[in-house]
């Protein structure tokens, strides 16, 4: 698949263009395939709106969901019957339910006007009764829809949904809060108002099978298996985001810097290192050009380079806002007034 087929061209002003490292593994074909799996699962008898993206370390799970699938799902018309979406992003940890509550309240500040004015109180409710916590979310989402109906003058009720991304689900396994968190996720999805996206390393699949709530969500939802990228896709990973950002690669001795980057990457496991290199090239760019001078200055793609410490590898940025982020353009997309899908 060629670069022109794989990557979208975006003509945004430069201050809004994607950084060349932010679209790592952004492939519209993969985005649409994952979306279709999720929507098909929801349409099945007994199906639920849950999608598990599973792949090996370095396969680009987080990047696919954060940079591709999540923005696609909030686009108007993507989810039948949904007029606007809010999104929340969380990563499991020892206190996963508390972190989930914080991300949900950041995405839905309307919750503070309800029966649980703080994220901590909602987390306690979710631990005791996921159904009650889901009811509180539904109430807040109804407020969102009603406010938008009044703002736009729409002649029908507008339905809002929450898209919840649980990134790096494998971090949940073995923690003290696993049972409460999994149970809460199942209750939220069962409400029909929450769409769950979860990424997980394939080597932790057995742990998912041993969790009855997560296993139920997977069986009734959908799974998207993400293999590591091959050489052609790695080439697209390097060239595509730069092209989308309106940037070019310099040439030296008849070789493009893009080709040098591809050939220097040892394997797909080094994708975080590539992401870091692209980020530094972007910061040191010369106008619209990613150049060799900057590449040489950072030491190239060298795993043990003292100027590129692996301990500070950047994480993919949430495409639609995460815990602690205020509502933003990418977190809420609205249908034109008077239109309804489904």
The pLDDT value given to residue 26: 58
48 and 183, same domain (yes or no): yes
Name the DSSP letter for residue 286.
B
For helices 130-152 and 119-128, give the axis angle rounded to 10 degrees: 130
> How many domains is the chain partitioned into structurally?
2
Provide the H-helix boundaries in the chain: 3-6, 28-43, 61-63, 70-73, 96-107, 119-128, 130-152, 178-190, 205-209, 212-220, 231-244, 257-264, 271-283, 292-297
For residue 310, being part of any structural domain is answered with: no
Candidates 209, 205, 163; CA nearest to 51 is 163
For residue 173, give the CATH number of its domain. 3.40.50.300
130 and 145, same domain (yes or no): yes
Cα–chain center distance at 212: 25
- Rounded Cα distance between 59 and 171, Å, is 17
111 and 246, same domain (yes or no): no
Phi, psi of 308 (to 5 degrees): -135, 70
Structure tokens at 151: 């703002």
86 and 191, same domain (yes or no): yes
96 and 207, same domain (yes or no): yes
User: Rg (Cα) of the chain, in Å, rounded?
Assistant: 21
Q: What's the burial of 119, exposed, middle or buried (CB within 10 Å: 0-12/13-18/19+)? A: buried
In the beta sheet, which residues pair with residue 51? Answer: 197, 222
- Rounded Cα distance between 227 and 203, Å, is 13
Candidates 4, 106, 33; CA nearest to 318 is 106
Candidates 67, 9, 64; CA nearest to 320 is 67
Structure tokens at 204: 């932790």
Residue 214, C-beta contacts closer than 8 angstroms, at least 6 positions apart: 169, 182, 185, 186, 208
68 and 188, same domain (yes or no): yes
The gap between the terminal CA atoms of the chain, to the nearest Å, is 33
Domain that holds residue 237: 231-305
For residue 341, being part of any structural domain is answered with: no
103 and 242, same domain (yes or no): no
pLDDT tens-place string over residues 106-121: 999 999 999 999 999 9
For residue 134, being part of any structural domain is answered with: yes
The pLDDT value given to residue 304: 38
Structure tokens at 300: 């190239």
The pLDDT value given to residue 268: 66
For residue 338, being part of any structural domain is answered with: no
For residue 8, being part of any structural domain is answered with: no
pLDDT tens-place string over residues 126-152: 999 999 999 999 999 999 999 999 999
273 and 137, same domain (yes or no): no
193 and 268, same domain (yes or no): no
For residue 272, being part of any structural domain is answered with: yes
Cα–chain center distance at 208: 20
For helices 96-107 and 119-128, give the axis angle rounded to 10 degrees: 120
31 and 111, same domain (yes or no): yes
For residue 202, being part of any structural domain is answered with: yes
322 and 265, same domain (yes or no): no
Residues of the chain with pLDDT under 50: 1-25, 303-342
Phi, psi of 165 (to 5 degrees): -100, 120
For residue 285, being part of any structural domain is answered with: yes
For helices 96-107 and 178-190, give the axis angle rounded to 10 degrees: 30
CB atoms within 10 A of CB 227: 12
- Rounded Cα distance between 222 and 85, Å, is 20
CA triplet 60, 63, 67: central angle to 5 degrees?
A: 150
- Rounded Cα distance between 203 and 192, Å, is 30
Distances (CA, A) of 174 to 113, 181, 184, 204, 211: 35, 12, 17, 11, 10
41 and 103, same domain (yes or no): yes
């Amino acid at each position: 698949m060629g670069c022109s087929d794989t990557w979208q061209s975006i003509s945004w002003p430069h201050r809004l263009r994607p950084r060349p490292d932010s679209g790592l593994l952004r492939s519209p074909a993969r985005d649409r395939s994952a979306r279709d799996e999720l929507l098909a699962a929801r349409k099945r008898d007994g199906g639920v709106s849950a999608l598990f993206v599973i792949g090996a370390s370095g396969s680009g799970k987080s990047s696919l969901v954060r940079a591709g699938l999540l923005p696609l799902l909030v686009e108007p018309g993507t989810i039948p019957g949904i007029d606007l979406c809010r999104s929340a992003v969380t990563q499991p940890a020892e206190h996963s339910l508390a972190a989930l509550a914080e991300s949900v309240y950041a995405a839905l500040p309307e919750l503070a006007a309800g029966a649980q004015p703080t994220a901590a109180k909602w987390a306690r409710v979710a631990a005791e009764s996921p159904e009650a916590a889901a009811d509180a979310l539904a109430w807040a989402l109804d407020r969102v829809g009603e406010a938008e109906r009044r703002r736009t003058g729409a002649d029908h009720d507008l339905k809002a949904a929450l898209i919840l991304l649980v990134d790096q689900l494998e971090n949940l396994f073995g923690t003290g809060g696993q049972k409460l968190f999994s149970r809460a996720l199942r209750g939220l999805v069962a409400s029909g108002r929450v769409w769950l996206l979860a990424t997980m390393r394939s080597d932790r699949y057995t742990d998912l099978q041993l969790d009855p709530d997560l296993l139920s969500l997977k069986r009734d939802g959908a799974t998207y298996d993400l293999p590591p990228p091959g050489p052609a896709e790695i080439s697209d990973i390097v060239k595509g985001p730069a092209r989308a950002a309106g940037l070019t690669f310099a040439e030296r001795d008849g070789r493009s810097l893009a080709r040098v980057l591809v050939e220097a990457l040892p394997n797909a496991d080094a994708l975080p290192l590539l992401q870091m290199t692209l980020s530094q090239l972007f910061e040191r760019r010369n106008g619209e050009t990613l150049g060799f001078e900057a590449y040489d200055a950072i030491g190239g793609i060298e795993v043990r380079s003292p100027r590129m410490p692996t301990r500070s590898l950047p994480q993919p940025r949430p495409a639609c806002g995460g815990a602690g982020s205020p509502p933003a353009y990418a977190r809420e997309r609205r249908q034109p007034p008077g239109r309804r899908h489904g």
